[in-house]
Amino acid sequence: MNAELLKKYMDITPEIEEAVRTGKPVVALESTILSHGMPYPENVAFAKEIEKIIRAEGAIPATMAVIDGRLKAGLTEEELLRMCEGKNVLKASRRDLPIVVANKLTAATTVATTMILASLAGIRFFATGGIGGVHRGGEDSMDVSADLQELAHTPVAVICAGAKMILDIGRTLEYLETMGVPVLGMDTDDFPAFYCRKSGFGVDFNAKAPADVAAIAKVKWDMGLQGGMLIGNPVPQEYAMDFDAMSETIDKALAAAEAAGVKGKNITPFLLAHIVELTGGDSLKTNMQLAYNNARAAARIAVEYAKL
C-alpha cells in the first residue's frame, strides 16, 4: 500500500511512525486478547503492564485494532479503554477486514490481522500469547486458522508461547513446514504448548539468544524470502502447567463445545473461557504471564534487529 492509500485507511501514532522511519525497535500487540480473551477491568491493567514491559526493554509498543473503520497502529488511552470494555467490538481476521472497514465498525485484531496491520505500518515483530493452527479433527473439518496462511505470506516475526493446546500441534507444525515458515525455539529444542513448556514436537532451530533470532530474520528478509517466522518462547517454569492435567482439562472443554454446538471462530474464546473455569482461574494467570514473557522476548529481539 502506498503512503497516500495508507493514510486513507490507517492511523499510526506519531511516536510509532517516527520509530519506524528512524529504524527504532517496535513491537506489535494484538487486541483480541483484550476484547475477547480477558475480563474487564483486569484486561486494562494487563494492557498497560505489557506496554510497560516492552518500553523497559528499549522498544515501543504498538497495539493494533480497527476503530470506527480506521486501522490503528498504536492506541490512545481512550481507544485502549474502548477495546478493553469490548462493547460492540467484533473479532476480525483477514476475511473480515474489508467488511469492518467499509462499514466503519470496530473490531479487535487476531494474530492474522495484527500481522497485516503491523506489516502495513512497517513493524517487523509481534508478541502474542499463542497462535491459532489446525484444529483437532482438522483433516476432516478443514478448520485451519488464518494465522498460518498469514505467517506464510506476511513478513512479520511472531513471538508466542507456541500453539494453543486446544489445537492439533503436530498438524499445525506440518502445515507451517509445507508453507516454508521457519519455526524457532527461544532457548529450547521443544516447541512449547501454550500453558506448558513442551508439546512433544521439535523446532527447526534452537535460538539461544535474541540476537540469533534477529540475525535469522534479517537474512530471511534480505534474501527476499516471503513471509514471517514463528518463535516459540516457553512460559516461565514457575507459571507452567502440568501437560497431562491440562490435556485432560482441554478434552473436557472440547466435549463441552461439541455438546453446545460451538463452531468456527467462536470455538477458541469458548474453550479458553471454559478452561479458565475448569482450572479455577489458574490458566488465566498462566496466560497473562506467558504474554508478558513473550512481550519481553519480542522487545529484546526487536532491539537486536535494530542494531543490524
Is-catalytic flag, 164?
Answer: yes
Mean of per-residue pLDDT scores for the chain: 95
Could you tell me the pLDDT band of residue 276, with boundaries at 50, 70 and 90?
A: confident
Could you tell me the pLDDT band of residue 304, with boundaries at 50, 70 and 90?
A: very high
CA atoms within 13 A on the CB side of 86: 16
Phi-psi region of 280 (alpha: psi -120 to 50; beta: other; left: phi over 0): left
Is-catalytic flag, 52?
Answer: no
Beta strands in 68-195 (DSSP E): 70-73, 90-92, 107-109, 125-127, 157-160, 183-186
For the segment 161-207, what is each residue's pLDDT rounded down to a tens digit? 999 888 999 999 999 999 999 999 999 999 999 999 999 999 999 99
For the segment 122-144, what is each residue's pLDDT rounded down to a tens digit? 999 999 999 999 988 888 888 88
Give the single-character DSSP code of 261: T
Catalytic site residue from 30, 51, 150, 304: 30
Residue whose C-alpha is closest to residue 147's, from 93, 95, 220 = 93
**Helix ranges, 124-225 (H):** 138-141, 146-153, 169-178, 210-222
**Topology given in CATH for the domain delimited by 3-307:** Indigoidine synthase fold (3.40.1790)
Looking up cell 497502529 gives 73
Residue 198: CB atoms within 10 Å: 16
Instruction: Report the pLDDT value the prediction gives residue 72, as an integer from 0 to 100.
Output: 98
The three cell numbers of residue 53 are: 514491559
Looking up cell 540469533 gives 212
Pairing mode of beta strands 183-186, 205-207: parallel
For the segment 218-241, what is each residue's pLDDT rounded down to a tens digit? 999 999 999 999 999 999 999 999
* Mean pLDDT confidence for 87-108: 97
* 112 alpha carbon, distance to own chain's centre: 8
For the segment 58-92, what is each residue's pLDDT rounded down to a tens digit? 999 999 999 999 999 999 999 999 999 999 999 99
Looking up cell 505467517 gives 151
* Mean pLDDT confidence for 146-161: 97
Q: How many residues are there in the chain?
A: 308
Return the higher-pLDDT residue of 166 and 10: 10
Is the predicted pLDDT of residue 157 greater than 80, yes or no?
Answer: yes
Catalytic site residue from 57, 72, 79, 164: 164
**Alpha-carbon gap, residue 283 to 196, rounded angstroms:** 10
